[in-house]
Amino acid sequence: MTDIEATIALFHQVVRGEEVLVREKMANHVPTQQLMVLTYIATHPGIIQRNIVELIGRKAATVSVMLKNMEQQGLIIRQIPSDNSRNKNIFVTDDGQKLAETFKATRQRVHQEMLANLSADERQQLQQLVAKVKIPS
């Protein structure tokens, strides 16, 4: 394995590890991507589907199915504004808000656990190094 392959493998391991730990601690059956979208909607009430499509880089049909599932689970509601019948504004329900808050708190605890062995200086160095990683366009 080359240095580049080993580095990318570590990135994958960290990302996958974070996802697995959060899912284990959440103990629910809502997919992680839905939880992330739910959290985003909670902080951006009234957002429209097109903005979510752009945010997560999925097809509109995929996001539509995701939102439909979230609506059926009672996590969000979609409302048609009086001034624009083409777009539906999306809001979290009380249950959705609670789940979003739980997800956010769980992720924060997992992140603290993941970085527990690093000193403050090492965390800063890691942040600086990762910030240098370029995603090709």
pLDDT digits (tens, 9 = 90+) for 98-132: 999 999 999 999 999 999 999 999 999 999 999 99
What are the tens digits of pLDDT across the range 68-88? 999 999 999 999 888 877 789
Considering only CA atoms, which of 5, 44, 33, 16 is closest in space to residue 114?
A: 16
Q: Which long-range contacts (CB under 8 A, 24 or more apart) does 26-30 make?
A: 26/102, 26/103, 26/106, 28/99, 30/73, 30/75, 30/99
For the chain, the C-alpha Rg in angstroms (whole number) is 18
3-class state of residue 57 by DSSP: coil
pTM above 0.85, yes or no: no
Instruction: Residue count of the chain, please give it.
Output: 137
DSSP 8-state code for residue 1: -
Q: Are 76 and 34 in contact (CB under 8 A)?
A: no
Q: What is the pLDDT of residue 29?
A: 81
Average pLDDT of span 35-50 = 96
